[in-house]
A and B are shown apart, each in its own frame.
Chain A
Amino acid sequence: MNKLKKLFSIKNLPLKYKVMGSNGITNIITLFAVCIAFVIYDRYTFKENIIKELHQEAEIIGQNNVAAIKFLDASTSTESINSLKSNPYIINAAIYTSDNKLFASFQQDSSYSFDNINVLNTSAELEDNKILEIFHPIIFNNNNIGTVYLSYDLTIISDRLIKFSGIVFLVFILASILGVLISLYFQGFISKPILRLTKVVKRISENGNYSVKLSNSGSDELSQLIASFNDMINKIKTQNEELVKSKEIAEQSVKAKEQFLANMSHEVRTPMNGIIGLSKLALKTKSQDKQLGYIRGIVTSSKNLLVVINDILDISKMDANKMTFEAIEFNLSNTLSSVVELLLPKAVEKNIKITKNIAKDIPKTIIGDPTRLTQILLNLGGNAIKFTKKGQVNFKIEKLEESHSKVKIQFQIEDTGIGIAADKLDSIFKSFEQASTNTTREYGGTGLGLAISKKLIELQKGHISVKSTLEVGTTFTFYITYLKHHTEDDKKTIAKIDQNELSIENANILLVEDNPINQLVAKETLDAFKANTTIAENGIKAIELFAKNDFDIILMDIQMPEMDGYEASQKIRKTFEQPKKDIPIIAMTAHAIEGEKERCIKAGMDDIITKPFDEKQLQQKIQQLIK
């Protein structure tokens, strides 16, 4: 029962029938109400017309019989009244005199008696049991001279009602059918797009295919709905694609991390096992020579372990986008020299020659991260030595492009080593990839070096490439764009100072520095230039000394206890009189944090130098300010 109820519930009907039903039922109810009203109205007006017509007929009969009544000619009246026979619904008719006496009559029903009629002398109608009685006065010269009586069979009304209702019903049926057909035609405009939409939604939910689209040409609300639906599907499709991509990336990342951990645990365990094994051996033996041999082995394993740990930390930082780069001034030639110096022992051991060639047009100093450049060069140079059995490793530095503020520098590391097979060239920059497993066995290493170098170069907006021929050699080429240190004005000034032979001999310098190592380094440098140096450990002591003595320049550390370099400089500029307050101040800072120079200038300082400083540069800066 419940199932049947559910099946025929309006809620469960298809949209098509709901639309048709709502239109059809509304039409039928309206039509039915109209028909009923029409029938009721017709019955009422028909009866009114009958009464009106009967009074008109009675009036005519009355007027026609005035003379007959006056002259008491009943036969003429009877003849006149008999003419009503032609109307089958007039049952009886009579003419009464003014004293209510029957004067003439006509009877369709012979059993009818006129004697029982209570004659009314006014115009009136009485209805009783489907018989309508009409009384109509006969007026002559404003005198009532008689009354016409008519009795009328009202079955005419029910006869007409039956006929009329039949016609109305036929019209009602035809109009209803027409209404349903029109509703059937128009419901398609509403239900079809919704049904198409339903089918598509069902299909999408079944197979998850968001590529489907609904055709749409109109501009009504349903067309807008379809357009919005298409738009929504498009967005879901895009979002899904992005989610799939993110999922793939996340899965790859997890896989890479697992691989990373697996490789790293192996890489860490190998030297660690060496350290533990050799330590045990060193503890067991009493021979000092053997112990020394084991300890050397421990040192080597420890160094290998350190390389692995450093690589892990670097690659983790880069993977997490947490690698930071310094922007400090450095000398490219010095950097390369220190790299070569570090590589030299291994090269000498293998009897490999290292050469370096720096193009003459390379700026002497550039701004960038010398630590990371050293790391890259050590990595590539170290690999070159590692994979070269005889011959040489060449470092070549050239200028590719130069603008007012930047210089693009190309670095080449060329070796005469074992080379890399062409099909391995693409994969050597990936983490843990080496040209072959034999490579790992024979030469060692984590396989992270090239991946780290590549990322370091790319993070500095550079690019690395490799060319190699098996058994002939390999050339790694990369470029990085660096900022140039000096503006043209700076260069001119420095050139001028160079020409005038720099000298700060006998200059009285107040060195404000709390770090004893930095104090010693600065004093040693200044002593070498034959300057007179007085040391203050913090800003407060510096001001005390400055108040009592005359100095040519102050070298001011920034970060100090008690009073820092910013505050001390501000106090000097604000509290002392001219010319003392105008003393040149050079800030000495251990870093080149963004905005540091601006902050120092704002605090009243004249220039800035980074620690550890280049001695020549310090001399130039002092000379420039005290001359």
Chain B
Amino acid sequence: MAYLNLSAFEDKSQEYQTKIFDLFIQYMPIWLNDLQIHFDNKDWKQLANTAHTIKPNILLFGIEALRGDIVDIETIARERTNLDNLDALIKKTIDIGLLAVEELKSIMK
């Protein structure tokens, strides 16, 4: 797997895995889209909240490439410092997040 590490679900039932993977596939693109919208609207509070929502799921699904970046997005949006870095971080998060969703879809198939 290129983007995901699903070791957290290894000892779980197939039913649970299907449910949680479906939820990830359903919600992750919505949250990633929210990231972009809040960034475009410069709504830093909502951007921080969305990053905060996504964060445990990135950790849960072992998306190592985004572990640090999602923390950085939340910190930057909350502290409103180094806002110049947000654009690149959000682009990366959305790109890799969507690739992870695609990867999960292909696994489920």
Contacts and interface: CB of A to CB of B under 8 A. Distances in A.
A590 B5 contact: no
A521 B7 contact: no
B66 to A, nearest CB: 10
B57 A591 contact: no
B56 A324 contact: no
24 contacts: A299-B2, A303-B2, A306-B65, A313-B69, A320-B82, A324-B71, A324-B72, A324-B75, A338-B5, A342-B64, A374-B67, A515-B27, A515-B53, A515-B57, A518-B56, A520-B16, A520-B19, A521-B20, A559-B53, A590-B56, A591-B55, A611-B55, A611-B56, A612-B56
Interface residues of B, number: 36
Given A322-B85, A342-B5, A517-B24, 19 more contacts: A309-B92, A313-B69, A317-B85, A322-B72, A324-B68, A324-B71, A338-B5, A374-B67, A515-B53, A516-B23, A517-B20, A518-B56, A518-B57, A521-B60, A524-B12, A559-B53, A590-B53, A591-B52, A612-B56
Interface string B89-100: 100100010000
A371 to B, nearest CB: 4
A326 interface: yes
For the complex of A and B, list the 5 residue pairs with the smallest distance between their C-beta atoms, beginning with the closest.
Answer: A611-B56, A371-B67, A612-B60, A590-B56, A590-B55
Contact of A524 (B16, B57, B72, B75): B16
Given A590-B55, A590-B56, A517 B23 contact: yes
Contacts of B23: 516-517, 520
Interface string A557-595: 001000000000000000000000000000000110100
A338 B7 contact: yes
Interface of A: 299, 303, 306, 309-310, 313-314, 317, 320, 322, 324, 326, 338, 341-342, 371-372, 374-375, 515-518, 520-521, 524, 559, 590-591, 593, 611-612
Secondary structure at chain B's binding surface: helix, strand, loop or mixed?
Answer: helix
Contacts of B67: 371, 374
Contacts of B85: 317, 320, 322
A567 B94 CA distance: 32
Given A299-B2, A516-B23, A322 B16 contact: no
Contact of A559 (B52, B64, B92): B52
Contacts of B57: 515, 517-518
B35 to A, nearest CB: 15
Contacts of B89: 313
Contacts of B92: 309, 313
A283 B64 CA distance: 32
B8 interface: yes
Chain A interface mostly: helix
B71 A326 contact: yes
A434 B62 CA distance: 30
B8 to A, nearest CB: 7
Most chain A CB inside 10 Å of its own CB: which residue of B16, B19, B24, B56: B56
A342 B64 CA distance: 11
A313 B88 contact: yes
Contacts of A320: 82, 85
Contacts of B27: 515-517
Interface of B: 2, 5, 7-8, 12, 16, 19-20, 23-24, 27, 49, 52-53, 55-57, 59-60, 62, 64-65, 67-69, 71-72, 74-75, 78, 82, 85, 88-89, 92, 96
A559 B2 contact: no
A591 B49 CA distance: 11
Nearest to B75: A324
Contacts of B82: 320, 322
Given A317-B85, A341-B7, A591-B55, A520 B71 contact: no
A306 B52 CA distance: 24
A539 to B, nearest CB: 15
A353 B20 CA distance: 35
Contacts of B7: 338, 341
B16 A591 contact: no
Contacts of A299: 2
A372 B75 CA distance: 16
Contacts of B8: 612
Contacts of A521: 20, 60
Contacts of A310: 65
Contacts of A322: 72, 82, 85
Contacts of A326: 71
Contact of B60 (A314, A317, A517): A517
Nearest to B24: A517
Nearest to A334: B7
B52 A590 contact: yes
Contacts of B5: 338, 342
B104 to A, nearest CB: 12
Nearest to A610: B56
Contacts of A375: 68
A320, A324, A338, A372 — most chain B CB neighbours (10 Å): A324
A309 B88 CA distance: 11
Contacts of B96: 306
B100 to A, nearest CB: 12
Contacts of A524: 12, 16, 20
A313 B27 CA distance: 27
Contacts of A306: 65, 96
